Chain A
Amino acid sequence: MHELPVTESILEIALRHARQANATRITHLYLVVGQLASIVDDSVQFYWDIVSKDTIAEGAQLHFERQPATLACLDCRHEYSPGGDGFACPNCHGERVKVVSGDEFFMQAIDIES
């Protein structure tokens, strides 16, 4: 997707919360990434090392928690995680599905020193 502005956004959020807590250093960031959110961890990590330089977050470790997607079948209402054969419903083999979760991308918490 768009890892540079995303990484800048991560830094902005972390620094804002750290400032509110009077932190002197940010050591860990915990991010939750849905399976369907198009985020490439390695690419975020690459930009992170650049954008966090000379801030209190420099050297902080990024942790990505991948959240599996949940789909709902519109025909039989069954909820399931997409498997290897694509998106079809394992219960009724219906192909009309709705995404219930898996798009999320948020910062759960940060570890700070103060």
Chain B
Amino acid sequence: MVKNISVIENILSANDRIAAENRAVFDSAGVIAYNFMASPGAGKTSLIEQTVRRLASIHKLAVIDGDIATSLDADRARAAGALALQINTGGECHLDAVMLQAALKQLDLSGIDLVIVENVGNLVCPASFKLGTHKSVLIASIPEGDDKPYKYPGMYRGVDALVINKIDLLPYVTFDMAYFRKGVEILNPGLVTFPLSCQTGEGLETWISWIGAQTRKK
């Protein structure tokens, strides 16, 4: 007998279910969690180092680092003063909720106020996989070019804050800030942005006070 049966199920529902479980883990521990996404080399790890250094006297931070290989990023976060854990995705170009769930099992959140998840450097895939973090932050950088919002709309549309890193390079590279910002505004109207330089420290204070203000001390 041939039958048509109704399914109506989201293809990524399995991931979304685990993401909701991860969110519950963060919530019950009283932790705020961020998903940092960016292309390779935009400065995710540098921003994490700066954030950890500047917040470490007030807040306890944990960093979960996703990379295809090596523990270089987790080592840098640890050296800056965070509790750090490396997830090697073994080739996968994004983190998903299942990988984060496995990492969370190895992490004692009881003393932690803030968790930063550093996603794999990629402007495409990470946008499609929810992790269960509270807020997503995209780190763009000047040398990438001003056309990135237009080329990666899925990523720019889904984030809660945008850091524009390496503004110290503005005098040396062609980057039309008005064109860039127009693309961002189309995709994500009113998005909060932080132009800064992890190299010179310019603009970092505003970013630190934003992320600090969202964090509750235990």
Contacts and interface: CB of A to CB of B under 8 A. Distances in A.
Partners in one complex: yes
Interface of A: 1-2, 5-6, 9-10, 12-14, 17-18, 21, 23, 27, 31, 36, 38, 74, 87-88, 95-99, 104-114
Given A9-B14, A95-B182, A105-B12, A112 B125 contact: no
Interface string B1-38: 11111111111111100000000000000000000000
A14 B10 contact: no
B96 interface: yes
B11 A107 contact: yes
A109 B7 CA distance: 5
Given A105-B11, A106-B9, A107-B9, A112 B154 contact: no
Given A5-B96, A105-B12, A95 B185 contact: yes
Interface residues on B, range: 20 to 34
A97 B189 contact: yes
A14 B182 CA distance: 42
A111 B2 contact: yes
Nearest to A99: B157
A31 B8 CA distance: 9
B12 A9 contact: yes
A73 B157 CA distance: 15
Interface of B: 1-15, 93-94, 96, 124-125, 128-129, 153-154, 157, 182, 185-187, 189
Contacts of B154: 36, 38
Contacts of B8: 106-109
Question: Interface on chain B toward A: helix, strand, loop, or mixed SS?
Answer: mixed
Given A106-B10, A106-B11, A1 B4 contact: no
B94 to A, nearest CB: 7
A61 to B, nearest CB: 13
B124 A38 contact: yes
A95 to B, nearest CB: 5
Nearest to B7: A107
A98 B189 contact: yes
12 contacts: A13-B7, A36-B153, A36-B154, A88-B186, A95-B185, A105-B12, A106-B10, A109-B5, A109-B7, A110-B5, A110-B7, A111-B2
Contacts of A27: 2
A1 B11 contact: no
